[in-house]
Amino acid sequence: DRVTLKKEIGLMSACTIIIGNIIGSGIFISPKGVLEHSGSVGLALLVWLLGGCIAALGSLCYAELGVTIPKSGGDYCYVTEIFGGLMGFLLLWSAVLIMYPTTLAVIALTFSSYILQPVFPDCMPPYLVTRMLSATCLLLLTWINCCSVRMATRIQDIFTVGKLMALGLIIVVGLVEICKGKYEALTAQVTFSQGRIPSVGQIALAFLQASFAFSGWNFLNYVTEEVVEPRRTLPRAIFISIPLVTFVYTLTNIAYFSSMSREELLSSNAVAVVSNGTVLSVTIIIHLSAQLQTKLISISVFHQVLNFIVKKKKGKKENHLRIEMDLIFIQSIRFKFSDQIYLCINYVSFINYLSYGVTIAGMLYYRCKKPNMYRPIKVNLSIPVCYLMFWVLLLGFSLYSEPVVCGVGLVIMLTGVPVYLLGIHWKDKPLCIFNFIGRKGGYNPGQAPPQRGNNQTRGESKAFFYTFTIIHSDKRKRKKKGVSFTHSATELRDLTVKYSGSLLLQKKLKDVESIIKIVELNGDDLVRDYSNEIERMLGSKMKSVKRLAESAEDADLYHEFNASLEFDYYNSMLINTVDEDGNSLELGAEFPLEENEHFNNIPVNTQQSNIQVPTNVYNKDPIILNAIYNTEALNDVFISNFLKDPTLTWQYFGSSTGFFRIYPGIKWTPDPNGVVVFDCRNRNW
């Protein structure tokens, strides 16, 4: 049974999710960083506008991924599906160690700055006081989230109102100041006057600062399975939300610049307080509390989604990392003692952009990998290409300008490689390691080890680990009794010699010794070679079956029923059949057949599969036609399997609707009455 999430998110809710996760503390933090790196008010406003455009391009690419790979989990699921377990694990690793802790730390530090700025109007708030206050705030909200979901939700509802009030009030006050004629910083003479000429690297860092304020545009992809009609809802929500957020951010920056000079803005960590007076302090504090609460809830949702991914579809998903909430919060406390909040923003934004780019590059790779896959949304190729060009330039120049900050984030991300290789990719770990992981990881060491990684995600189950444990323990018991596998192989060889009559065969072979040379072989080696060969053969067959199963599941998942569907297929009974006038019958087109020794000299077509339909099933029924059309993609998989493993013979696909797809294609002969009684649904398998 397929486990799914309820589809309850409509267009309005989708817009709310995107806007709610984007608009936050960034608009109170990033303006200073953007202006500092860009050098002028005009260029700073341009960075904000272009930042919104880049977020829109990324959102459209994510919309295609969201409906092409309709799984909740966002970047992690997409990268794991496209590139495999290692890349997905690194994305998750960086989220736990860098993205979420740093984001929480930045928001909490800004919260403290806005509380303390009115108390210390003529100087910077004390370093230790700011850090202790932010840590206390974070721990308090964490405790609330852990103790009571209802209380956390109520606080979130209250703070959300304050969140909207803060931005609205800032914009209104700014517009009032403009109406009073206070817009010196926005005049043509001042707007592009620069204290210094910024380098390309500084412009890249300005975009990193702005991207922090726009982060959250991809959060809807974490709950794609809950979106009603994602094909329509996702792009509409993007076209509504991103421009609206960009408009609000631009107005907010204009409000800042209408009330303060460039120098005043750069000298303050609490931009909005300096801009619009201490009267806004309480409102902004409520806003930042809301954003901090939102991020905590977002992390909880991310945690729940990943746990859901692990559990859904009977445990077939990727169990890469048990997300520990306490690890994220401990990391957040550690980041609070950083001296530079804007370096932290560069730090987290670099890794964020890195993950975005890898995901969107994966979208292009997926198009090449599965070109015929049904995509309800398929964006123009120029959109991901433009995004990736900007992405390469941004990360390259950012790394050049801040090699230590950006490089440290990259190194931390890459530390996940040995963790993945040792903890997940290494299949045959000794039992002592499993027991150690069990004691540290929270499962019972006496039981079979838990599921490990992407290599067991499709079709393999925990039976592998039970088998491993049994074999391992059985091997240890044999050693205790003085019995080895070598001895067992010798016994097997002796029994084979005794009961196969090979001694008699050896006597008869003496007559032809001059022609045939008898070589003595090691029985242990023979058994080992046979075992390895059988394992390789069965493994190859299982891979073929998995490829067929995956292709059939993908085709079924993305096929939309069409009651008026009409198309011709090769009916195995009717092929190569003509009427009195020499014309091919309907569904009986010419189908080349050649005798093939590999298939017992039966005339077959190794380039095409065909369809067998029992006589009691109407072969043009819409249900049958849709089901047959849905499995056309299997033909390429049949051929690919045969090319990869020439030892394969017949490959079949039996449908619950009654038809039977056969590879290679054959001519099906009915009984003497012209009836096809074979029905795949009645077979024992």
Q: What is the DSSP string of 411-456?
A: HHHHTHHHHHIIIII--S--HHHHHHHHHHHTS-TTSPPPP-SGGG
Q: For a pLDDT cut of 70, what percent of the chain falls above it?
A: 67
Domain ranges of the chain: 11-423, 437-537, 557-682
Helix axes 281-315, 26-38, angle to 10 degrees: 100
Cα angle 493, 499, 505 (rounded to 5 degrees) comes to 90
CA dist 562 and 628 (Å) reads: 12
Closest CA to 110 of 269, 335, 337: 269
Predicted confidence (pLDDT) per residue in 86-140, tens digit: 888 888 888 777 777 777 777 777 777 767 766 776 677 777 887 787 777 777 7
For residues 654-677, give the mean pLDDT: 87
CA dist 353 and 263 (Å) reads: 30
Strands of the sheet containing 651-654, edge to edge, are: 610-612, 660-663, 651-654
Q: Which residues pair with 661 in a beta bridge?
A: 611, 653
Predicted confidence (pLDDT) per residue in 596-633, tens digit: 888 888 899 988 899 988 888 888 888 888 888 888 88
CATH 1.20.1740.10 at 11-423, yes or no = yes
- Look at 214 and 587; give whichever has higher pLDDT: 214
Q: Is the distance from CB of 680 to CB of 630 less than 8 angstroms?
A: no
Predicted confidence (pLDDT) per residue in 235-264, tens digit: 888 889 899 999 988 888 888 887 777 777
Asked whether the predicted pLDDT for residue 437 surpasses 80, the reply is: no
| CA distances, 136 to each of 124, 153, 333, 339 (Å) | 20, 20, 10, 18
Question: What pLDDT is stored for residue 662 in this prediction?
Answer: 92
Q: Which residues contact 469 (CB under 8 A, 6 or more apart)?
A: 431, 448, 449
What DSSP designation does 678 have?
Answer: -
Locate 57 and state its tokens. 């391009």
Q: Is the distance from CB of 425 to CB of 455 less than 8 angstroms?
A: yes
| CA distances, 410 to each of 391, 492, 555 (Å) | 15, 55, 38
What DSSP designation does 596 have?
Answer: E
Question: What pLDDT is stored for residue 21 in this prediction?
Answer: 77
Residue 268 binned pLDDT confidence (cut-offs 50, 70, 90): low
For residues 313-318, give the mean pLDDT: 38
CA dist 136 and 147 (Å) reads: 16
CA dist 604 and 581 (Å) reads: 26
Asked whether the predicted pLDDT for residue 496 surpasses 70, the reply is: no
R_g (Cα) of the chain, nearest Å: 33
Q: Is the distance from CB of 391 to CB of 397 less than 8 angstroms?
A: no
The 3-class secondary structure across 474-524, one letter per residue, is: HHHHHHHCCCCHHHHHHHHHHHHHHHHCHHHHHHHHHHHCCCCCCCCCCHH
CA 317 to chain centre: 11
Q: Which residues contact 586 (CB under 8 A, 6 or more apart)?
A: 568, 574
Is the bond preceding 384 in cis, omega lying within 30 degrees of 0? no
Q: Which residues contact 433 (CB under 8 A, 6 or more apart)?
A: none
- Look at 481 and 91; give whichever has higher pLDDT: 91
Closest CA to 279 of 157, 164, 114, 52: 114
Least confident span in 44-48, 469-473, 534-538: 469-473
CA dist 256 and 390 (Å) reads: 28
Tell me the three state secondary structure of residue 602: strand
In whole numbers, what is the pLDDT of the chain averaged over residues? Answer: 73
CA dist 181 and 176 (Å) reads: 9
Tell me the three state secondary structure of residue 250: helix
Question: What pLDDT is stored for residue 317 in this prediction?
Answer: 41
Q: Which letter, b or e, does each residue of 582-617 get, where b requires 16 or more Cβ atoms within 10 Å of its Cβ?
A: eebeebbeebebeeeeeeeeebbbbebbbbbbbbee
Question: What pLDDT is stored for residue 639 in this prediction?
Answer: 87
Question: What pLDDT is stored for residue 661 in this prediction?
Answer: 92
What DSSP designation does 328 have?
Answer: H
Quick one: CA torsion of 501, 506, 512, 518, rounded to 10 degrees? 120
